[in-house]
Amino acid sequence: MEFSAQTIADLLNGTVEGSAEATVTGLSKIEAGEPGTLTFLANPAYTDYIYATKASIAIVSSSFDPESPLPKTLTLVRVDDARLAFSKLLAVYSDMTKPEPGIHPSAYVHESASVDASASVGPMTVIEAGVSVGPDAQIHAKVTLEQGVKIGPKSIIHSNVHIGRMCDVGADCMIQPGAVIGGDGFGFAPNSENTYQKVVHVGNVVLEDHVEIGANTTIDRGTLGSTIIRKGAKLDNLIQVAHNCDIGENTVIAAQTGIAGSTKIGKNCMIGGQVGIIGHLTIADGVKIAAQSGIGNSIEEEGMVVQGSPALPIRDFKKSYVHFRKLDQLADKVNALSKNLKPQENG
């Protein structure tokens, strides 16, 4: 697919500096630009690459002021925010390359399921009884939608995703490959035979609108009621969300975080990678949790920043860490003092 510099500028409300007729057929990183590709400059750390890039068109901010001559083969498209503009362009490109509407012949669709005529269903996908797939939704290859699942308009379900019975996915959601939405929670009750009786989970998972779930992330269904991921939340790859959790609006969670059951996380929170949160806690709105932190108690103060395991307010953690790094020196001093102390005489 070919785009001209002027077409790109029109899409992004930008201006062309150079040849408006310059064309591109692909994308490239600025440090690895090739002729016929489009790149962008948003991070000042990469500025030096633009003076040598072989890309044909570069998206830059309106304030970009070259300190050296640019390649004569390079056309600029100036915009207010280069990163945001490039992201918008990628979304436009993705929309133009989406699958054609229709159901692949190898897919299984139960006669009671409803698939909108504008939706697409990929090869070897299984759509069970009572499923509803909304307008312009994309269901890719080898997806399983169990009984009663609802997929909202324009949502994209990538390959090998499993969505359990009665789960509800809102509009404009994206679920990346391999995610499991609505598997049973980790619930077992000891019995008189000294074994564990499985606790069957009969609730569901609800993803509200504009939610994104990363690859191989797992979200367990509620024991009773729902596990809820609220509007605009973004979950990275390889995250575990246990039964009956409630993740607030616009909260973002990085990879390999584990959240135990019935935890309630507020809106606009930011949670780093490999964070562990025990169950039945409440995290207030706007809280930031540094990577690899362990959360063992509720955080009730809005906007608090914490770090460490167990987690402390960020300032306390940094002060403690200064002392921690000097423990070996402190130990040496204690040992030296011990050697100089005379044993006390009895009596």
Tell me the backbone φ, ψ of residue 93, rounded to 5 degrees.
Answer: -65, -45
State the CB neighbour count (10 A cutoff) for residue 43.
10
Clarify whether 243 is annotated catalytic: yes
Tell me the one-letter amino acid at 84.
L
How far is residue 129's CA from residue 147's CA, in Å, rounded to a whole number? 5
How far is residue 192's CA from residue 137's CA, in Å, rounded to a whole number? 49
Distance from chain centroid for Cα 176 = 9
Residues 6+ positions from 166 with CB-CB distance below 8 Å? 146, 147, 148, 149, 182, 204
**90, containing H or E segment:** helix 82-96
Q: Which of 223, 254, 226, 224 is nearest to 240 (CA)?
A: 254
Supply the DSSP string of 189-253, one letter for each residue.
EE-TTSSEEE-----EEEE-TT-EE-TT-EEEPPSSSEEEE-TT-EE-SS-EE-TT-EEPTT-EE
How far is residue 154's CA from residue 135's CA, in Å, rounded to a whole number? 6
How far is residue 268's CA from residue 285's CA, in Å, rounded to a whole number? 6
Tell me the one-letter amino acid at 161.
V
Contact 242, 221 (CB under 8 A): no
How far is residue 220's CA from residue 241's CA, in Å, rounded to a whole number? 6
Catalytic residue among 158, 162, 210, 243: 243
Which residues are tagged catalytic? 243
